[in-house]
Chain A
Amino acid sequence: MMIYLPIAEVSVNAFLLLGLGGLVGVLSGMFGVGGGFLMTPLLFFIGIPPAVAVATEANQIVASSFSGVLAHFRRKTVDLRMGLVLLVGGLIGAALGVWVFNILKAQGQVDLLVRLSYVVFLGVVGALMFVESLRAILKSRRPPVPGAAARRRQRGWIHALPFKMRFRTSGLYISVIPPLLVGVAVGVLAAIMGVGGGFIMVPAMIYLLGMPTKVVVGTSLFQIIFVTAFTTLLHATTNYTVDMILAVLLLIGGVVGAQLGAQLGTRLKAEQLRILLALMVLAVCGKLAADLLLQPAELYSVGEAGAH
């Protein structure tokens, strides 16, 4: 069944969108990632204009993270104070990101920026995850080495910064500057790439801020809701690129998919899941990189005029 999207002004197959939403939902349920970093390139592939894909995907992430954070609130694994600090940074970052996005859109380089960001981030995250999970699989086959596990808390430059604050839920007493910066970085990414930034924020919270893993996901989701909601509003009011019909179709698929994914996830081993995810991330990255590196069949592109 073909559906005409009022904002994107293209006609797409509704079942394809439901399927895509479902597929990415399954993955996000299985792996605990937002899935935006996979969904947005997939939307490019099926012909949704990049600007619409990015803005609409932000809207969809609001739904999936809201659904996720409710569960974390029930388990009390959300550090509200840390979330708020990240949020302040995130809002600044999102405003900065939309501003950059609009400048680049006027210069016709927005596609390039979005694609380059994707290639870089998918490549880095995919490769790191692949290596890490491969190691985990190898390690699980070998007998455990006694005494190797104890990892020391890092006490570097991060702890020498001023404006210290106590984060009770995370059990941290650190400067607000690093979480603020992490927030800004994720906000910029969210606005430019149309992703929640979970796949960047989670490692940053664990490795840079030293937060306990069990509060990381909930806190990241809490922050992502507000940043992506803000991004959605900014895109809706400045670029008019949020397509509600597209968002709803993706949402329905995503919600159903996430349930299936969560059930599937319990049947596979964590390392196997991660290595599958890493391979898929690398595949998407490879496709996007090939588009940039190989000579395109059509060198010309048609865009809206104006803005400069």
Chain B
Amino acid sequence: MLRLALLLLVALAAPLRAEEVVLGLSRDTVSITTNFEGSEILIFGAVKREGPIRTDPPLEVVITVAGPSAPVTVRRKERVAGIWVNTDAVEIDRAPSFYAVATSGPMEEVVRDTEDLRHKISIPRAIRSVGAPEEVQDAAAFTDALIRIRKREGRYALAEGAVDVTEQTLFSTAIDMPANLTEGDYATRIFLTRDGRVVADFESVIGVRKVGLERFLFTLSREQPLVYGLLSLTIAIAAGWAASAAFRMLRRG
């Protein structure tokens, strides 16, 4: 029975692979300048296919944009001796600094759980949490908290139905990126699904970079911290001296 089902799956999958994604991005780099206020990226594309359009089941599109991942520590406050103190902590092995998912329909209809698990599409799947310390019983609450906090900050977003699909061929969506962006390579993935199964996927990269003064100061602070520190002090001393001099001039004048 299982073998039969597998065979059927392979047979079905072969012609489906004939669909490919052709992608366009309104921009493939985001520059964080001094007056950066966030950015909106338009992601659009088309489905290239050899044969005629299959209409049943209909084509659905899922688009994800993920910022660079880093391990994070989620801490929980508890009341100790009358004050609220961080007590339990769970280290989450990998959490993207930014993660946006846009779909053409309700998440559970567009992507099956098994596909979600394999491709790590939905927000909870994109976060990898392996082990929590033994004293923490409810490790899931920490992952939920991470998602909740980052959703509130605009870092994580799930927009169901935000992808427009026209004639089963053209699709487009807009992803909002907040002002508090971390720099790095933002992996952009497009999944075409039918009946919850991924039939084609495509990956591209949006580079988010600090530029100009931001770039200069950030690099200096990491690569030449002593020079950076001394420069900060020089500016402070110069400003202090200038203030004192201006004071005297005003008093005299």
Q: Is the CB of A301 within 8 A of B241?
A: no
A65 at the binding interface (Cβ < 8 Å): yes
Contact present for A244 and B239 (CB under 8 Å): no
B106-114, B161-169, B242-250: which lies at the interface: B242-250
B153 (CB) vs chain A CBs: closest residue: A302
A9 touches B145 (CB 8 A): no
Quick check: B74 and A59 within 8 Å, CB to CB?
Answer: no
Q: Are B237 and A63 in contact (CB under 8 A)?
A: yes
* Contact (Cβ within 8 A) B240 A65: yes
A108/B86 in contact, CB under 8 A: yes
In the assembled complex, B221 has its CB within 8 A of some CB on chain A: yes
In angstroms, Cα B145 to Cα A258, docked, is 43
CB distance from A66 to the nearest CB of B (A): 3
B149 contacts chain A at the CB level, 8 A cutoff: yes
Q: Please determine whether B233 and A59 come into contact, CB atoms closer than 8 angstroms.
A: yes
Q: Which residues of chain A come closer than 8 Å to B180, judged between CB atoms?
A: 9-11
Chain B residue nearest to A62 (CB atoms) is: B236
* B32 & A4 in contact (Cβ 8 Å cutoff): yes
Complex alpha-carbon distance, A305 and B32, angstroms: 24
Classify the secondary structure of A's interface with B. Answer: helix
How many A residues face the partner with a CB closer than 8 A? 57
**Given A108-B73, A108-B89, A300 and B225 touching (CB < 8 A)?**
no
Residues of A within 8 A of B142 (CB): 300
Min Cβ gap A242→B in Å is: 5
Could you tell me if A71 and B237 are in contact, using CB atoms closer than 8 angstroms?
A: no
B76 at the interface (CB under 8 A from A): yes
> Which of B38, B71, B210, B250 is in CB contact (< 8 Å) with A305?
B71
A305 touches B225 (CB 8 A): no
Does B182 lie within 8 Å of A9, measured CB to CB? yes
Does A133 count as interface, using CB distance less than 8 angstroms?
no
A residues near B246, Cβ cutoff 8 Å: 255, 259
In the complex, A232 Cα to B233 Cα: how many Å? 8
Contact check, B217 vs A11: say whether CB atoms are below 8 A apart.
no
The proximity string for B residues 92-123 relative to A, scoring 1 for CB distances below 8 Å and 0 otherwise, is 10000000000000000000000000000000
* Neighbouring B residues of A292 by C-beta, 8 Å: 83-84
On chain B, which size bracket covers the interface? 35 or more
8 A Cβ contacts from A61-94 to B = 62-68, 70-71
Identify B217's interface contact among A7, A62, A66, CB under 8 A: A7
Residue interface mask A237-252, B partner, CB < 8 A = 1? 1001010110110011
Q: For the complex formed, measure the closest distance between the CB of A2 and the CB atoms of chain B, giving whole angstroms.
A: 5
Question: A111–B83 Cα gap in the complex (Å)?
Answer: 13
Is A247 a contact of B226 with CB atoms below 8 Å? no
When distances are taken between beta carbons in the complex, the residues of chain A under 8 Å from B230 are: 233
The answer to whether A255 touches B73, judged by C-beta atoms less than 8 angstroms apart, is no
Q: A11-B37, A233-B233 are known contacts. Are A4 and B85 too (CB-CB below 8 A)?
A: no
* A-side contacts of B78, CB under 8 Å: 299
Q: Is the CB of A302 within 8 A of B86?
A: no
Closest chain B CB from A96 CB (angstroms): 19
- Judge whether A67 and B71 touch: CB under 8 Å: no
* List of A residues within 8 angstroms of B181 by Cβ: 9
Contacts of B146 in A (CB 8 A): 300, 302
Assess whether B29 is interfacial by the CB under 8 Å rule: no
Closest residue of A by beta carbon distance from B78 = A299
Do A64 and B76 have beta carbons less than 8 Å apart? no
A61 nearest CB across to chain B (Å):
8
CB <8 Å contact, A301 and B247: no
Chain B residues whose C-beta falls within 8 Å of the C-beta of A244 in the assembled complex: 217, 221, 228, 231-232, 235
Tell whether, in the assembled complex, residue B149 and residue A3 are in contact, meaning their CB atoms are under 8 Å apart. no
Asked if A301 contacts B210 (CB within 8 A), the reply is no
The reply to whether B71 and A306 contact each other, CB–CB distance below 8 Å, is yes
Judge whether A247 and B232 touch: CB under 8 Å.
Answer: yes
Q: Contact check: which of B77, B232, B247 meets A59 at CB < 8 Å?
A: B232
Residue in B33, B148, B232 whose Cβ sees the most chain A Cβ within 10 Å: B232
B82 on the interface (CB 8 Å rule)? yes
Q: Is the CB of B76 within 8 A of A300?
A: yes
In the complex, 25 of the A-B residue pairs with CB atoms within 8 angstroms, ordered by the A residue number, are: A1-B35, A2-B37, A3-B34, A4-B32, A4-B33, A4-B34, A7-B218, A9-B180, A60-B236, A62-B237, A63-B237, A63-B243, A67-B247, A232-B232, A237-B229, A242-B221, A244-B231, A248-B235, A251-B235, A251-B236, A255-B240, A293-B83, A293-B84, A301-B86, A302-B73
Q: Which residues of B contact A (CB under 8 A)?
A: 32-38, 70-79, 82-86, 89, 91-92, 141-142, 145-146, 148-150, 179-182, 210, 213-214, 217-218, 221-222, 225-226, 228-233, 235-237, 239-244, 246-247, 250
